Amino acid sequence: MFRPRRFGILVLLSLVLASPVPLPASAQPAAQPAASPAGAAALSPAAATVSYIVRPGDTLTRIAARFGTTVAAILDAHPQIRNPNRIYVGQCLQIPVPGSSSSQRISFAAGTTSATREDSVAAGVTKRYVFRASAGQVALIDVLSNGGIAQLAICGANGRVVMSYDAGVTSFRAPLPTSQDYFIDVRSAPGSAVSYTLQLIIPQRIRFAPGAASASLTGSVPHFGTHNYILRASAGQLITVDVQAVGRVILIVYGNDGAVLQSDRVGSSSFTGRLPLTEDYFLDVRSVGPAAARYQLDVSITD
């Protein structure tokens, strides 16, 4: 093992997590979405539907007429609906729409926990992405507009709305409630097209074994890939993180509140410091060399 030469690249951070997670209890990594063999993300077609959130006065007949489809087609897409006369306000439906663009499934490259998609959408059109996650996993979703105004909504395959367009935000930071597929809908503001960058991160949670104050994890990241970790710690605790790698890596450390404790500009693969707040902290291991890197991450938290 050897310590890699240090250098960094610019990273943009905007992090505000909801629903804190309890303090670490075990050293088991969280389940991750299915990995693709190569590339930053694998995007494959899914069913041609659009998401719709039920409003007061809606019926399946009215919704079908609005989208140019049939009640039977909607029911085929929702086998959990046993009574077509019973839908509820706030329910998220996937509406089969003739001629609509299909959704795109997002998966992560081997060794990574994030994917980025550059895309655009015409005025009045919605693009939908789908990803798989487990209950309790934290999802970080950002839509950054490169031109025009984008709107973001998220709902589960079970019909539960996680975040509606009414929230008026283009970022999401929270644990997910159920193990299932989740849909990300990106649409343009009325009357204008929009180009955007969509980023999805599902960090791997670090948990300590009962009575332990440290953990060691091994992994590998592709060239310019990043593996994102998350762990919970208390204000005033001392955190020590060290990454030993075959290949060149850097370590980025930042808090739930968006405060950067160590940026990529430092170009270091280790960090030691007292933590300012009781919250989740993120540890990003990024490969910056000419090839993939194998590494061991050692982290400890003491009072």
- Angle (CA) 271-246-27 rounded to 5° is 55
Q: Residue 175's pLDDT band (boundaries 50, 70, 90)? A: very high
The amino acid sitting at 255 is G
When comparing pLDDT for 25 and 271, which is higher? 271
Q: Are 219 and 196 in contact (CB under 8 A)?
A: no
Q: Mean pLDDT over residues 275-303, rounded?
A: 95
Which pair of tokens denotes residue 3? Answer: 């310590």
For the stretch 100-143, pLDDT in tens is 556 789 999 889 999 999 999 888 778 889 999 999 999 999 99
Residue 16 pLDDT more than 60? no
When comparing pLDDT for 125 and 20, which is higher? 125
Between CA 72 and CA 49 the distance in angstroms is 14
Q: Residue 68's pLDDT band (boundaries 50, 70, 90)? A: confident
Output the pLDDT for position 98: 60
When comparing pLDDT for 148 and 171, which is higher? 171
Output the pLDDT for position 50: 74
Helix, strand, coil percentages, rounded to 5, for the chain: 5, 45, 45
Q: Residue 48's pLDDT band (boundaries 50, 70, 90)? A: low
Residue 227 pLDDT more than 50? yes
Which of 160-164, 215-219, 294-298 is the least confident region? 160-164
Residue 28 pLDDT more than 70? no
Which pair of tokens denotes residue 269? Answer: 């693969």
Q: Mean pLDDT over residues 10-30, rounded?
A: 33
When comparing pLDDT for 228 and 258, which is higher? 228
When comparing pLDDT for 3 and 206, which is higher? 206
Arithmetic mean of pLDDT over the chain: 82
The CB density around residue 22, as the number of other CB atoms within 10 Å, is 7
Q: Are 235 and 24 in contact (CB under 8 A)?
A: no
Residue 183 pLDDT more than 80? yes
What sign does the dihedral 35-150-161-21 (CA atoms) show? positive
- Work out whether strand 293-302 and strand 238-246 pair parallel, antiparallel, or are unpaired: antiparallel
The CB density around residue 61, as the number of other CB atoms within 10 Å, is 13
| Residue found by looking up tokens 């490969």 in the block | 287
> Which one of 20-34, 76-90, 96-110 scores highest in mean pLDDT?
76-90
Residue 182 pLDDT more than 70? yes
Of 58, 51, 50, give the one whose Cα is nearest residue 88: 58
Q: Residue 201's pLDDT band (boundaries 50, 70, 90)? A: very high
**Contacts for 258 with CB less than 8 Å, ≥ 6 apart:** 13, 14, 15, 16
Output the pLDDT for position 101: 53
For the stretch 91-106, pLDDT in tens is 888 887 664 556 789 9
Output the pLDDT for position 160: 86
Residue 11 pLDDT more than 50? no
Output the pLDDT for position 214: 97
